[in-house]
Amino acid sequence: MNPPKTDARRHHDPEVRGFASDNYSGVHPEVLAALTLANGGHQVAYGEDAYTENLQQVIRSHFGPTAEAFPVFNGTGANVVALQAVTDRWGAVICAESAHINVDECGAPERVGGLKLLTVPAPDGKLTPELIDRQAYGWDDEHRAMPQVVSIAQATELGTVYTPEEIRALCEHAHAHGMKVHLDGSRLANAAATLNVPMRTLTNAAGVDILSLGGTKNGAMFGEAVVVLNQDAVSHMKHLRKLSMQLASKMRFVSVQLEALFARDLWLRNAGHANEMAQRLAEGVRAVHGVEVLYPVQVNAVFARLPHDVSERLQKRFRFYFWDEAAGDVRWMCGFDTTEDDVDAFLAALKEEMAR
Ligand SMILES: Cc1ncc(COP(=O)(O)O)c(C=O)c1O
């Protein structure tokens, strides 16, 4: 039952939505219902519960019979645990300069994971074999951290997507150099929805060894999973998750959320809807003179360049972030709960502010 609108315990207006991030949204009602279902009674702690067991079957239905899911609290944790699992103490990770692991994780891969990140500029957020080669050398040189992993994000931080062929080429290239491949799939659902392919096509079928599978941005309250796709590439996942402080004692409540998203098609419905809203937004923005859409809009993000003062006025009406403030670049993101009316109201406000 929904609490009455006047409930004094509610401290926000549930009708207000912005375009700041897909993690500003609440929890999808089906996920909330699943959490309630998992409540009550006692279940074994630390992942020996019936929900986590069932989650393994769900994950295997997507990624094949040898895939193994390790639920964790958040995306940064998933990345740090996954990367440690495929590196030695002297290992380094090749990634795009714009990668979340490089710019948005407070140095956790370096400080918590003890990893060196070897970055390359990637104008559209995507690595290529040629870009990887800028850092893929010196395996025998004890003076250099050893490149052992290539980490890519699908979708990228710039809202672009790799085709399955592009991922396969990257994996073949990395493997030919003895490196493994990690995929930050915080928005893997959105990429799969855009490309209309199973998640498997973008991951293990293309050669990815280990995956950070997103849940939060797709409608969970919290929770992601490290999914081991290539068992031979990985060691000591259980221990790494615990020492990285990502082992939930009441794990059933992380697992049941992921089960709710991935057991049927909720993940795809949510991602597909968020992507559609971004398309609607981009189409509207392109019709506004003086506003430039910066990258191909392939998932649920629209990056745009517009006059700084317009953005500042617009931010008073709708929440969103500057991406590169000096350049006047902003990021507008849609979520599973963004409505057509939200998009249309935002576009109307944008037009008004541009005309002022
Ligand atoms: C591509 C990408 N990876 C990882 C994360 C990390 O997620 P969290 O904020 O849960 O640590 C994010 C969150 O914004 C992200 O966009």
Clarify whether residues 207 and 239 are in a common domain: yes
- Asked if residue 9 is part of any domain, the answer here is no
Q: Whose CA is nearest to atom 9 of ligand 1?
A: 75
| Positions of the chain with pLDDT under 50 | none
321 and 253 in a single domain? The answer is no
Of 229, 262, 295, which residue constitutes the final position of a domain? 262
pLDDT for res 3: 57
Are 225 and 293 within one domain? Answer: no
Instruction: Quote the longest CA-to-CA distance of the chain.
Output: 67
Rounded to the nearest 5 degrees, what angle is found at the Cα of 327, between the Cα atoms of 322 and 331?
Answer: 30
Q: Are 294 and 304 in contact (CB under 8 A)?
A: yes
| Residue that is last in its domain, among 200, 228, 262 | 262
CA of 187 to the centre of ligand 1 (A): 9
Q: Which atom of ligand 1 is nearest to the CA of 184?
A: 3
Residue 102 and residue 321: Cα distance in Å, rounded? 19
What is the chain's mean pLDDT, rounded? 97
CA of 214 to the centre of ligand 1 (A): 8
Claim to verify: residue 273 and residue 257 sit in the same structural domain: no
Tell me: do 221 and 302 sit in the same domain. no
Q: Mark whether 219 and 289 lie in a shared domain.
A: no
Shared domain check, 141 and 197: yes
Ligand 1: residues whose CB is within 6 Å? 74-76, 79, 100, 153, 157, 184, 186, 216
> What's the order of all strands across the beta sheet hosting 91-96?
68-72, 224-228, 210-213, 180-185, 146-153, 91-96, 116-120
Both 230 and 270 in one domain: the answer is: no
* Among candidate residues 307, 296, 356, 352, the one with its CA nearest the CA of residue 330: 307
CA of 221 to the centre of ligand 1 (A): 14
Displacement of CA 8 from its chain's centroid (Å)? 34
252 and 167 in a common domain: yes
Q: Which domain holds residue 223?
A: 29-262
pTM for this model (two decimals): 0.97
Which of 262, 282, 298 is the last residue in one of the domains? 262
CATH number reported for the structural domain that contains residue 45 in this entry: 3.40.640.10
154 residue type, one letter: Q
CB 15 within 8 A of CB 26: no
pLDDT of residue 100: 98
Same domain, yes or no: 307 and 220: no
Measured N-to-C along each axis, helices 252-262 and 29-38 cross at an angle, to the nearest 10 degrees, of 140
pLDDT value of position 5: 61
Residues 156 and 124 in one domain: yes
CA 236 to ligand 1 centroid distance, Å: 23
Domain count, the chain: 2
